[in-house]
């Protein structure tokens, strides 16, 4: 599948997943860690915003799990698995049990947000970390 077609599929899948999850106000921000520092290991409510070069950001609720350098982000049945190393991330995207994409990305924690880019598809992702979940 061409890069542009994959970007369109990912944007459409995200829009459907966000719509099915309903619109939710941004979760209350946790005590923000210093810039460049990930939050403590655990599960969090989050908001994911995806921006393509030609469209305004599309945002919706997400679930975030942080375990050291491993970050798992989920919106409905779409899951982004990131392995962070410095300012880089290896990203694998699955829908259900099917891998739909894999890419290397520039990635950076900034306060209570994680930003990463898929340069090939001209997509920018921003994950705004919300309240910590206890279950």
What percentage of the chain reaches a pLDDT higher than 70?
74
With a cut of 80, say whether residue 44 has pLDDT above it.
yes
Domains of the chain from N-terminus onward: 3-24+37-133 (2.40.128)
Length reported for the chain = 135
With a cut of 70, say whether residue 13 has pLDDT above it.
no
pLDDT greater at residue 64 or residue 13: 64
Residue range 84-110, pLDDT digits in tens: 999 999 999 999 999 999 999 999 999
Q: What are phi and psi of 59, to 5 degrees?
A: -120, 150
Indicate the pTM of the whole model.
0.76
Q: Which token pair is 123? A: 């997509």
With a cut of 90, say whether residue 17 has pLDDT above it.
no
Place of tokens 């779409």: 78
CB 102 within 8 Å of CB 93: yes
């Amino acid at each position: 599948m061409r890069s542009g077609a994959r970007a369109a599929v990912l944007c459409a899948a995200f829009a459907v997943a966000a719509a099915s999850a309903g619109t939710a106000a941004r979760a209350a921000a946790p005590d923000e860690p210093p810039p460049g520092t990930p939050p403590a290991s655990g599960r969090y409510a989050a908001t994911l915003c995806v921006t393509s070069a030609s469209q305004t950001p599309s945002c919706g609720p997400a679930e975030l799990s942080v375990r050291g350098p491993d970050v798992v982000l989920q919106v409905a049945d779409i899951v982004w698995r990131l392995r962070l190393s410095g300012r880089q991330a290896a990203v694998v995207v699955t829908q259900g049990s099917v891998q739909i994409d894999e890419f290397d990305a520039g990635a950076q924690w900034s306060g209570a947000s994680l930003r990463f880019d898929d340069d090939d598809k001209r997509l920018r992702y921003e994950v705004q970390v919300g309240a910590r979940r206890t279950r």
